[in-house]
Structure 1
Amino acid sequence: MAGALEGIKVLDLSRFIAGPFCAMQLADLGADVVKVERAGKGEETRQNLPQLNGESLYFMTFNRNKRSLTLDFRSPRDQETLRKLIAKADVLIENFRPGTMEKMGCGWDTLRELNPRLVMVRISGFGQTGPLAQRPCFDAIAQAMSGLMSITGQQDGPPMMAGTFMVDYASGLYATIGTLAALNVRSQTGRGQLVESTLLESAISMLISAIPAQAQLGEAMERCGNVDRYTAPVNSYPSADGAFVYLSAGTDALFPRLVEAMDQPGLLADERFCTAHARLSNAVAISDIVAAWVLRHDAAEVVAAMDRAGVPCAKVATMDEVVTNPQLLARGQIVDIDHPVAGRYSTHGVTVSLSDTPGEIRRAPPLLGEHTEEVLRGWGVA
């Protein structure tokens, strides 16, 4: 069968991560996604390192399954071409600073008159309205402002950002969810709508219980390193061979299994550890005991013992281990793509699995302007 979004036309005017990632999700699911880039230069991230044969791996990560069309956004003629494309589109994705689309004559009020069926997706740092709407924002800024940074890192260390652009990814996923919801409504009403996703709002959606705990109880969530906030023992532990193992055995169902695997039955009778609440109150003590046991074994031995016991556990993988992970390879999550310039390279697969209309990687990331004439003819704009 065709992809789940076969027949949906998407114009991707976005840059960096959140917007392109949203557009790529739609493309993976079968939509015809056209990446609209600046003539001559293209998206800024085409220059990012690292590069493979002069092609940015950063850019390629977020732009597979798309076709590239170039326009001069400052040219009245090309602005008119853009509006003609928009008139044919089902979805438009942009993440310019608020007001930029309006300056090009492509604000929402204009576009919904031009194409009442259009779903316009606007991704920004703070939204199209509010006192911070015009302030520039990147992932780390949203992590800082949202409080995510303040609850990340070791308890006695400074605030830390996450090791990846988690807010950009979350914003892209929220934008994807909103797009699919708007398309579903359109299938019933015939009318599109405006979808907004912001970095700051996406970030605060990931604060667990920090907001009500602060607002209602006056309790500030603090940094806690790799331990779990609500159960113990849960932590990363060094093993005898110099690796780290992450182990999660904090619940009352899992803790006895850990005790049996460590062959330390006396822990179950210890009042400090006999219930989940007791263990949390004595988290350092129980963690020290587990750490001493893990340190006497190689990482593979610890993981094997926990697997036999049914306790969630994993070696903290290095990237060379990730790209050869047999589980990921078996499920098509590490795949190879042939690029006309970069050559063959490995990347992540299609993440969402659909039984009847699975997504697929049909196209390598496009060269700049590679499909301009093809798109203009195919969309009936030339």
Structure 2
Amino acid sequence: MTEPTATTTTATTTTASAPHPLTPAALEGVRVVEMGQLIAGPFCGKTLGDFGAQVIKIEATGAGDPLRNWRLLKNGTSVWWQVQSRNKKSVALDLRQQEAQDIARKLIAEADVLIENFRPGTLEGWGMSPDELHKLNPGLIILRISGYGQTGPYRDLPGFGVIGEAMGGLRHLTAEPGRVPVRVGVSMGDTLAALHGAIGVLMALYHRKAHGGKGQVIDVALHEAVFNCMESLIPEYSAFGAVREAAGSALPGIAPSNAYPCKDGWVLVAGNGDSIFKRLMTTIGRDDLGEAPDLASNAGRVARITEIDAAIAVWTTSRTVQEVMDALGAARVPAGKVYTARDICEDPHYKARDMLLTQQTRDGYSVTVPGVIPKMSGTPGTVRSSAPGLGDDTDAVLAEAGLTSEQITLLRSKGVIQ
């Protein structure tokens, strides 16, 4: 089948029809085979693809990556898919068949990076252990993302991002005191694992280039990626026996930093710097607190946080969110409204920073998607192609790998490819 025409969206514009900037891609020439599905592995692939890596996504024949059917669908495909799978090519293989496994090996043999987020042992069951793949491609960098890692007593247990958030210590803290732990609202465990994986891939690429060309295995566990972001949780337990507990919207031990009610919503206020606290108290008409000697430092404010929070809430409750934002902005006190999707799409700062891009899908409609980060002056990320349909690129990729049209037709007739 022919490859659909890819629409280019740049990270320097908010429309899909603007010209492609003539700037080099940071990862141009890096070839990635992505064998993962859903979130963690594919988010890593998306990150590398945004900065120029050629990402070939191997999907199962039939339905493909389950993310295609997650959450809200348009024309039968998730709009989430349009973000997660941009800058990728889709090759559909039935990896239960030996011939499909042989094709996968052929693609991996020419790759710089392999991404997989299967349960440990899955690759080995297909005859694709790291040792076997490194015999085939000594420079291959293999990123393995799993619930509990490739070793340890829990390695064979199934693990999703939510489980990683629980074991990593995050879920214990995301609640109001005494109430049920809640989701962050997005798949934070998967995303953190993907970002740690991307960092690992970049370090391994650098090491391979600087120190002899050998590849290596990167082992990322979902819970460890979450745990790595838990700040002082363990040192505090080690030094003081203190078990940090849920604190709702407050930042324990840092004062004042909390969410405060307004007439029409909530505002987050971070008045925890010494000089910021004084300006905040002046703004709300409480110079008595701003000038109190025992509140000049954070330790004193923590001791009286209930009183301080109450004073701030009295002031915010009688005002709208915008009135609070205007007053605190003028006083140079960090504050922020709680944004919804509508707020983000209407916000001028998001637009000015090119964080809202209009992407033309292969189904023919336009959809607004998040822009590319981080912002890089010399090698900015771009959206070079829209998300593929299942198997859109199978023929083109296999032809590039050396298969003839007759061989491709035969493989399709056997159900090896789609």
Tell me which interval the TM-score lies in, with the shorter structure as reference length. Answer: over 0.9
Describe how 1:229-378 pairs up with structure 2 within 5 A: 229-240=252-263, 242-271=264-293, 273-341=295-363, 343-378=365-400
The secondary structure found in structure 2 opposite 1:259 is helix
Alpha-carbon distance, 1:137 to partner: 0.6
2:80 maps to 1:58: yes
User: How many angstroms apart in 2 are the aligned matches of 1:180 and 1:380?
Assistant: 29
Moved more, 91-100 or 156-165: 156-165
SS in 1 for 2:383: coil
Secondary structure of residue in 2 paired with 1:2: coil
Question: How many Å separate the matches in 2 of 1:305 and 1:142?
Answer: 41
CA deviation map 1:43-94 (0-9, x unaligned): 1121222111211123223111101011110111111111111111110000
- Contact 1:267-1:274 at 8 Å conserved across structures: no
Tell me the secondary structure at the aligned position of residue 246 of structure 1.
strand
Q: Deviations over 1:303-348 (max 9, x none)?
A: 1111111110011112211122111111111111101216111111
State the Cα RMSD in Å: 1.3
- The amino acid across from 1:312 in the alignment is P
Query: Where in structure 2 are the equivalents of 1:93-172 lying within 5 Å?
Result: 93-172=115-194
Using the alignment, how far apart are the partners of 1:275 and 1:193 within structure 2? 48
Offset at residue 351 of structure 1 (A): 1.3
What do residues 209-258 of structure 1 show as CA deviations (whole Å, max 9, x unaligned)? 11111123210000001111122221111112x21111110121210110
Q: Is the 8 A contact 1:55 1:342 kept in 2?
A: no
In structure 2, C-alpha distance between the alignment counterparts of 1:352 and 1:147, rounded to whole Å: 27
SS in 2 for 1:92: strand
TM-score, normalised on structure 2? 0.89
Q: Distance in 2 between matches of 1:124 and 1:254?
A: 43
Q: Distance in 1 between matches of 2:237 and 2:97?
A: 51
Find out whether 1:227 has 2:250 as its counterpart: yes
Letter of the structure 2 residue corresponding to residue 348 of structure 1: P
Structure 1-normalised TM-score?
A: 0.97
Equivalence for 1:78:
100
Q: Which deviations, in whole Å up to 9, do the C-alpha atoms of 1:277-307 show, x marking residues without a partner?
A: 1110111110000000011111111111111
Higher relative contact order (CA 8 A, sep 6+): 2
Query: 5+ residue gaps in structure 2?
Result: 1-22, 405-418
Q: Secondary structure of the residue that 2:274 maps to in structure 1?
A: coil
Matched, 1:206 2:229: yes
* Runs of 4+ more than 4 Å apart: none
In structure 1, what is the equivalent of residue 39 of structure 2?
Answer: 17
Deviations along 1:130-149, whole A, 9 cap, x unmatched? 10000001111111122211
After alignment, is 367-376 or 155-164 more displaced? 155-164
Name the CA distance, whole Å, in 1 between partners of 2:297 and 2:44.
44
Counterparts of 1:29-40 in structure 2, within 5 Å, are 29-40=51-62
- CA offset at residue 272 of structure 1? 5.3
Report how far residue 378 of structure 1 moved.
2.4
**Counterpart for residue 409 of structure 2:** none
Distance 1:247 1:6 in 2: 42
SS in 2 for 1:150: coil
Query: Retained in 2: the 8 A contact 1:3–1:358?
Result: yes
Kept after mapping to 1: 8 A contact 2:82/2:361 = no
Per the TM alignment, residue 129 of structure 1 is displaced from its structure 2 partner at its CA by 0.9
Q: Paired residue for 1:192, among 204, 208, 215?
A: 215
Amino acid at match of 2:262: S
Deviation at 1:271, TM superposition (A): 4.9
Whichever residue aligns with residue 58 of structure 1, its letter is: W
CA distance in 2, matches of 1:265, 1:104: 70
* AA in 2 matched with 1:202: A
Which of 20, 24, 30 is the aligned partner of 1:8? Answer: 30
**Which of 167, 178, 199 lines up with 1:177 in the alignment?**
199
Query: Aligned with 1:69: secondary structure?
Result: strand
Any conservation in 2 of the 1:14–1:96 contact (CA below 8 Å)?
Answer: yes
Name the CA distance, whole Å, in 2 between partners of 1:266 and 1:63. 56
| Cα displacement string for residues 141-196 of structure 1 (whole angstroms, at most 9, x for unaligned residues) | 11112221111111132222211111111100000000000001111211111111
Secondary structure in structure 2 of the residue aligned to 1:307? helix
2:362 and 2:387 in contact (8 A); partners too: no
Q: What letter is aligned with 1:227?
A: A
% same residue: 36
Counterpart secondary structure, 2:38:
coil
